[in-house]
Homo-oligomer: A and B are copies of this chain.
Amino acid sequence: MKQITKFSEQTLIPEDLLADRIKNVPRSFIREILKVAISPDIISFAGGLPNRELFPADALKECAIKVFEKNGTDALQYSNSEGYLPLREYISQYYAGKHNIRVVPENILITCGSQQGLDLLGKVLINENDEVIIEEPGYLGAIQALSVYGSKFMPVRLNHRGMDIQELDRKLHTVNKIKMMYVVPEFQNPSGISYSPETRTAIIDLMRSIPAYIVEDNPYIDLRFQGKGSGSFYHRAPGKTILLGSFSKTIVPGFRIGWVVATDKLMEKLIVAKQATDLHTNIFSQMILFEYLSHCDHEKHIGKIIEAYGQQCRIMVRAIQEFFPSEVMITQPLGGMFLWATLPDHLSSMELFRRTINKKVAFVPGNPFYTDNKKYYPTFRLNFSCSGGSDIQEGIARIGSSLKELIMEV
């Protein structure tokens, strides 16, 4: 094997060749944190990963073998940009059967995870300085994807029922070139909250007169471990809503398979954008997923995930009640993978992070979930999908002791 040494970079190319758009895109701060948190002696609540012990690995292996046998070279050749039709038909049936949403396969585009759905929507909808209403705190991946296209974020604070309607109403009176509102209505990342039916209706009423899309991103919708759903935005306002979905949280993230639901005119442009971006999504993996969904007991599998995540969430909430000072407020998620903690206003979660990482516990300080670049935020995100009960108790206890030190000192 040949030893390759690094080519020493010459200065043939000046720095200012970069496009303006990329200068404003935040590098993923979480990624940096995860590098610290990857060490095996760290108890990490920092990730946003589904629990790998629950992946249906054996079933997927059988399905992969079947795809080679049944689909042959169709699974290996170039394919169409829209995505594998049987998979889109499955998604259509899934929406009808499980969420009372009516959508035909030709209005579904398969994407490389719902992250790519966001990229394509940015490509197709956002001009420089177009406004995007986003939750505060909001999903980092959406902030990143839409930043690329020069969008100007108008954050609206979240409360326990969803976006703050008064603030939304006020902000909507100041918008100028609004293109979309981005919402994660079920078990939001990072906050874990879900929108109440009243908030959903109020948002649609406010948005009705405004020529902009509602982008409803719903990767966690099937991970509900308590209570019942409030009905999707898409169901309430189908002509106005774009729906994003994903198999990453319920089956397998490594395949990178998600989808976008959009009406005909927008879909036509999304397909052009998809072609220009990467021609099509990995067809072999689409076929494996379809094989899995049509022959394995997917509901039973989701049941297992829900049971595990629900239990881990309850353990975390109880540990927080035991170990955190009473000044710290938390959300009480009914599903998903995250909960959100709020310190007294004058405390920095980044400072807390520096202390807990010395105690070998990681979480994500609030910073990357805001669009206004303050120096510090008193909030942080805790992931409960990837840790067992004793790690949760131990990790929360350590954060609790750092919290007490911090509160005493400041």
Chain A residues within CB distance 8 Å of chain B: 1-2, 4-7, 9-15, 17-22, 25, 27-28, 31, 49-50, 52-53, 55, 57, 60-61, 64-65, 68, 72-73, 75-79, 81, 92-93, 96-97, 102-104, 107, 111-113, 115-116, 119, 123-127, 130, 141, 144-145, 147-149, 179, 208, 211-213, 237-240, 248, 252-256, 263-266, 269, 272-273, 275-285
Contact = CB atoms under 8 A, between A and B. Distances in A.
Contact of A119 (B79, B93, B278): B278
11 contacts: A4-B93, A17-B125, A22-B273, A57-B72, A65-B65, A79-B254, A116-B277, A141-B279, A256-B282, A282-B285, A285-B285
A284 B17 CA distance: 35
Contacts of A13: 211-213, 239-240, 263, 266
B55 A76 contact: yes
B276 A113 contact: no
The oligomer's copy count stands at 2
A211 B64 CA distance: 48
Given A49-B78, A127-B19, A7 B102 contact: yes
Given A145-B276, A282-B282, A65 B55 contact: no
A19 B125 contact: yes
Nearest to A21: B123
A2 B2 CA distance: 60
Contact of A104 (B6, B68, B144): B6
A184 to B, nearest CB: 16
A124 B115 CA distance: 18
B279 A115 contact: yes
Contacts of A97: 2
Contact of A112 (B77, B123, B130, B278): B278
Contacts of A179: 17
Contacts of A52: 73, 76-77
Contacts of A123: 19, 21-22, 148
